[in-house]
Amino acid sequence: MTIATRLTQILGIKHPIVQGGMTHVGRAELASAVSNAGALGIITALTQPTPEALRQEIRKTRDLTDKPFGVNLTLLPAIKPPPYMEYAKVIIEERVPVVETAGNNPKEFIRMFKEAGIKTIHKAVAIRHAISAQKMGVDILSIDGFECAGHPGEDDIPGLILLNKAAQNLETPYIASGGFADGRGLVAALALGAEGINMGTRFMCTKEAPIHPNIKQAIVEADERSTALLYRPFRNTARVFKNEVAIEVNRREKDPHVQFDDIKELVAGTRGRQSYITGDKDYGIWSAGLAIGLIHDIPTCEELVHRISLDAETMIRKRFTKLLVQ
């Protein structure tokens, strides 16, 4: 027995679980392992330095799995933005079955992907943004609560409220993102109207995740207090692992006159990437969500996906049916 939802039907996957598109982590080896386990693996476009490098990563993923997988394309403001359109054209040319968009208004890209027959997921941190994406015709929405790693927005609305609100306001099927790591979370998401869950931090702590074992062990040893919120003075909040660098950034941000230049050298992306490579958890900033407090082992992706699905099925069958009395 498996849990079938609109997510599994639309994407053609076995289990209602999606791997988050994580910078420097969403690579072919992880995405293919997740897809082979029956969930949806996602490679991250901007992890690749050029559109042509993304093309090679897509082909590598396809060599490793014959199951559906996706590409995350996050659209962020920048003084010198990446060549988003060129990345999008590669995704279309390589006939990727699913694209997850996030960040700025994706309207132009959603239109392109849909015309190419690609299923679209858009990640939103607010219901008003989700409604806008719904009008664009996205196939699935990913509702990202305040518990999530990365950028949770500036409203600070946790998933318990945001997902319930989504059920009241959305017609497009949606999945739950932020704070999910196990079968209990999947059942809770389904109860809140979601068609499945998106997990980032939990998939970082798997054998196939292409990051140093020391980082995975740091996640296992952490608890729910082990994240920090950065960039709040700049209204660009990010949830990251609470290490020495994050603590120092928070200290500097207490200055009422703080400028981004005051923390720039500490939060450089190259430092965070080095942490993943060298295993020095305190060298740079790296993303982690509140689900870090629910992670206690480093399984394979197959073990993790099957465990979550089985636990959710067992809970639905054995626990909730017993609560119904005449």
According to the model, what pLDDT value does residue 261 have? 95
According to the model, what pLDDT value does residue 2 have? 85
DSSP letter assigned to residue 234? G
Reduced to 3 states, what is the DSSP secondary structure of residue 119?
strand
According to the model, what pLDDT value does residue 67 have? 98
Q: Is the pLDDT of residue 272 over 80?
A: yes
According to the model, what pLDDT value does residue 315 have? 93
Q: Phi/psi at 100 (nearest 5 deg)?
A: -105, 120
Q: Is the pLDDT of residue 167 over 90?
A: yes
Q: Give pTM, 2 decimals.
A: 0.96
DSSP for 83-111 reads -HHHHHHHHHHTT-SEEEEEES--HHHHH
Q: Which tens digit of pLDDT belongs to each residue from 284-300?
A: 999 999 999 999 999 99
According to the model, what pLDDT value does residue 63 have? 98
The mean pLDDT of 198-214, rounded to a whole number, is: 98
Q: Is the pLDDT of residue 142 over 80?
A: yes
Q: How confident is the model at residue 322 (pLDDT cuts 50, 70, 90)?
A: confident
Angle at alpha carbon of residue 32, lines to 73 and 301, rounded to 5°:
110
The mean pLDDT of 66-90, rounded to a whole number, is: 93
Q: How confident is the model at residue 73 (pLDDT cuts 50, 70, 90)?
A: very high
Q: How confident is the model at residue 88 (pLDDT cuts 50, 70, 90)?
A: very high
The mean pLDDT of the chain is 96
| Residues 266 and 197: beta-carbon distance below 8 Å | no
According to the model, what pLDDT value does residue 320 have? 81
Q: Is the pLDDT of residue 152 over 80?
A: yes
Q: How confident is the model at residue 318 (pLDDT cuts 50, 70, 90)?
A: confident
Q: Which residue has the higher pLDDT, 260 or 319?
A: 260
According to the model, what pLDDT value does residue 168 have? 98
Q: Is the pLDDT of residue 78 over 80?
A: no
Above pLDDT 70, what percent of the chain? 100
The mean pLDDT of 264-283, rounded to a whole number, is: 95
Q: Which tens digit of pLDDT belongs to each residue from 109-126?
A: 999 999 999 999 999 999
Q: Which tens digit of pLDDT belongs to each residue from 6-62?
A: 999 999 999 999 999 999 999 999 999 999 999 999 999 999 999 999 999 999 999
The structural domains of the chain, with segments of one domain joined by +, span: 6-211
Q: Is the pLDDT of residue 174 over 90?
A: yes
Q: Is the pLDDT of residue 175 over 90?
A: yes
Per-residue tokens: 145: 């609560």
Buried b (16+ CB within 10 A) or exposed e, 85-96: eebbebbbebeb
According to the model, what pLDDT value does residue 76 have? 85
What residue type is 215 in one-letter code?
Answer: I
Q: Is the pLDDT of residue 1 over 80?
A: no
CATH among 3.40.50.11750, 3.20.20.70, 2.40.100.20, 3.40.50.2000 for 6-211? 3.20.20.70
Who contacts 319 (Cβ-Cβ below 8 Å, separation ≥6)? none
